[in-house]
Amino acid sequence: MTISSIRSRAVAIPVDRPTRMSNRDLADRHYVLVEVTDDQGETGLGYTYAGTAGGPLTRTAVDDLLTPVYLGAPADDLVGLWGRAYQEVLLAGRRGAVVRALSALDIALWDLKAKRAGQPLAVLLGGSTAPQPAYASGGYYRPDEGEWTDAVAGEIAFNRAQGFTDHKIKVGGLTVAEDARRVAAAVEAIDGEGRLALDANNAYASVHEARAAIEAFERAAGETPLWWFEEPLSPESVEGHAELARQIRTPVATGEIHQTRWEFRSLIQAGAASILQADAGVAGGVTEWLRIAHAADAFGLRMAPHWHHNLHVHLTAAVANTLVVEYFALEKGIYNFELLLTPETRLGYGGGQVFLPDRPGLGIDLAEDVVVKYELPG
């Protein structure tokens, strides 16, 4: 079986109301969709998040840099194609949008392979379709939701109504004192029946600032331990994360922006985190995510992948060191990728778990009318 055609599309979906996190305002979410078709007419779907403005750039990387490597090649040679593509982009750049483009292509090939085998991707990878543990993600800053403490308490109540006991909220977008009050309100709303993680999105400029912040948040949480402290520093600050991890009580988590096994090797060697958040849509696709997860397992580290629950539920089911899947309710209007999917193929959830589809491949289908609505001109 050979690859006969590759189609890429960039879409921009606006968030439903003003939203921000510690380091940027959010208006649109750009996604790049990649469909790979073999010479028997079977098609696999891959995708990546391209940021708030990177859709056209990432699509161009698919079309101009990577498609020539893949067209006409054996569709089953996933590892070999990954290596050739990575080498091909040596001079164009092997990070950022280029690796996100490579990720989408690789995901599409794995979807294709699983569809041809008639199996869910999780099963093809050696896992099962058993439900996976999940937490409710969110806690962004939305000025139209009223007082910050009321807003976060209301969101925790919404999460609990959906059956989730574990939660994550943003920090770093307000003063430490204001964020500490939000942490206290979230802990009170959880009422001893779950865990709370904090996501700083690289908010703090130094280890000293990050330590001062997390210690304030720990005090605000009282006797309730915080689950993890996510991305307190810049992704480049590998040693800074390691230094912070040695100094604080709350576990450090990071990795959502890091790409390829080589960057994760640096995180692991430095002791920069005890929880790795590799994102298959960012780090290099399914092929590279599995390499990272197995390497992490050898060092006793857990995987809590970032975003893309429709994809990551298959990957966490196929590795031994899964901690949890990040789930975003579509009703929150923040991670809005599932608007592009037919309602019947959106991920099911309940009782603090997400449910793997029993359909072949990723088990998702595009709602073409919605894709067309949000597609960016080529």
Average pLDDT by consecutive 10-residue portion of the chain (378 residues)? 98 94 93 98 98 97 98 98 98 97 98 98 98 98 96 98 98 98 98 98 98 98 98 98 98 98 98 98 98 98 98 98 98 96 98 98 98 96
Tell me the CATH number for domain 123-355: 3.20.20.120
Rg of the Cα trace of the chain? Answer: 20
Amino acid 248 reads I
Domains 3-118+368-374 and 123-355 share a fold: no
Nearest Cα residue to 279 out of 266, 288, 270? 288
Alpha carbons 328 and 363: distance in angstroms, whole number? 18
pLDDT of residue 378: 84
Amino acid 243 reads E
Cα separations in angstroms, 109 against 6, 252, 361:
11, 33, 10
Kindly report the three-state secondary structure assignment for every residue of 73-105: CECCCHHHHHHHHHHHCCCCCCCHHHHHHHHHH
What's the CATH fold of domain 3-118+368-374? Enolase-like; domain 1 (3.30.390)
For residue 257, give both structure tokens. Answer: 């922006």
Q: List the chain domain ranges.
A: 3-118+368-374, 123-355
pLDDT of residue 232: 98
